[in-house]
Amino acid sequence: MLDRPNPTTGEIVKRCEELFSDLTFAAARQWKAAEPGRIVIGFMPYYAPRELVHAAGGLPLGIFGGGDQLEVIHGDAYYQSYICRIPRSTIELGVSGRLDFVDGMMFPSICDVIRNLSGMWKLMFPDKGARYIDLPHNFEDDLGGEFYVSELRETCHWLSAMTGKPITDEALRASIAVFNENRRLVREAYQLRADEPWNIPSSELYLLLRAGMVIPVEEHNKMLRDYLAAARLQQRPRKDNARVVISGVFCEQPPLNLIRSIEIAGCYIVDDDFILVTRWENSDVELAGDPLTNLARAYLHDSKSTPPKYEPDEAKKGLYLVDSVRRNRAEGVIFAMTSFCDPGLLERPMLQAVLKKHNIPQIAFKYAENSGQMQPIREQAGTFADSIKLWSGT
């Protein structure tokens, strides 16, 4: 933690890199050990109701696989080869003892692989809690809304059984408020990156978001405020890069070098779907009234569009990408899809068709969280950036 006033962006990013690289989760371990009775609840990427864990007095801990730092040995024994890598590396983190301090895990209903991972976790770690978060596919308040409120309420009971204390409405509202601040700061960082992508490299912004997955939200809010203040005081060299939107990185996260390679190739990333849980809701969650109902309605009516999420209006499918391109003055879209990701790869042709209809340039490639060879990706992204500049006449 940076305690001195007015840290530089370099100092903040260095701290974020330390947190990103630490697969022992030392910061979360220290937080739990600092006070008896604290709980740590892991969650998978995409989406999780972190406010509930915070209201229970716990730390929501993002478990985003082992990246390119972890050699998967035991995890491969539990899953077939033709699925994405994140369930195998998550199992590897568990069997290697790196998650022995975690009290429970939340698994979102994003795909069959994660659904199966929740069952695998229960079998392998019966002394750890496991909660499968079944997300609504009906977006009417009296159907999908009521269903999701009941899911959230059951999750509260699950957490209360671990702490021995009920989760009050007051605690939930306080947690929603602090996460509202976090979401506002993240949106502010994204807007500043879109306005001045040369001053906020996407590799730095990504590290900043990843840091928030392993430290308390209050500490992350301070980190975000410090970074934004420092970023506004600096002026880095501006390059003639192509402005692009990255799509497809909503679950298994890319190696950090993949993001850096795209930037080195001559692209400014001005929007993306990295770590969606940090900005799942498009605006603040309402504080007045029943907090669980407010969280459910925010999910139904004010949340991000993404391939795994059911889209009730087929006519709007893919338009969120078109809106992002226009809003962020992007010149093209890069589809970076996880290998064997059914939601992403099945949706991609439909998204590409929408972009083609609106004359938006695009390319696509696949990756795994442990991808090591970045030269082909760099060359493909560089060629794409050159073609944008050549054919757009800019």
The tens digit of pLDDT for each residue in 30-63 reads 999 999 999 999 999 889 999 999 999 999 999 9
- Mean predicted confidence (pLDDT) in 155-178: 97
What is the predicted pLDDT for the residue at 394?
47
> Which letter does DSSP use for residue 281 in this model?
B
Q: Where are the beta strands (DSSP E) in the chain?
A: 40-43, 59-62, 104-108, 129-133, 242-247, 267-271, 332-338, 362-367
Confidence label for 2 from pLDDT (cuts 50, 70 and 90): low
Contacts of 128 (CB under 8 A, 6+ apart): 102, 103, 104, 105, 121
- Note whether 192 and 284 are within 8 A (CB): no
Nearest C-alpha neighbor of 381 from the set 263, 271, 274, 273: 263
Tell whether the model's pLDDT for residue 69 goes beyond 90: no
- d(CA 56, CA 42) in angstroms, rounded, equals 14
Confidence label for 68 from pLDDT (cuts 50, 70 and 90): confident
More reliable by pLDDT, 222 or 77: 222
pTM of the full structure: 0.94
Angle, vertex CA 366, rays to CA 365 and CA 371, nearest 5: 120
Confidence label for 393 from pLDDT (cuts 50, 70 and 90): low
More reliable by pLDDT, 371 or 387: 387
- Note whether 124 and 91 are within 8 A (CB): yes
Residue given tokens 């700061």 in the structure block: 185
Diameter of the chain by CA atoms?
A: 65
What is the predicted pLDDT for the residue at 148?
96
Tell whether the model's pLDDT for residue 81 goes beyond 90: no
Say if strands 129-133 and 242-247 run parallel, antiparallel, or are unpaired.
unpaired
pLDDT, tens only, 170-182: 999 999 999 999 9
Q: Please state the three-class secondary structure of 309-376 as a single string.
A: CCCCCHHHCCHHHHHHHHHCCCCEEEEEEECCCHHHHHHHHHHHHHHHHCCCCEEEEEECCCCCCCHH
Helix (H) or strand (E) holding 202: helix 202-211
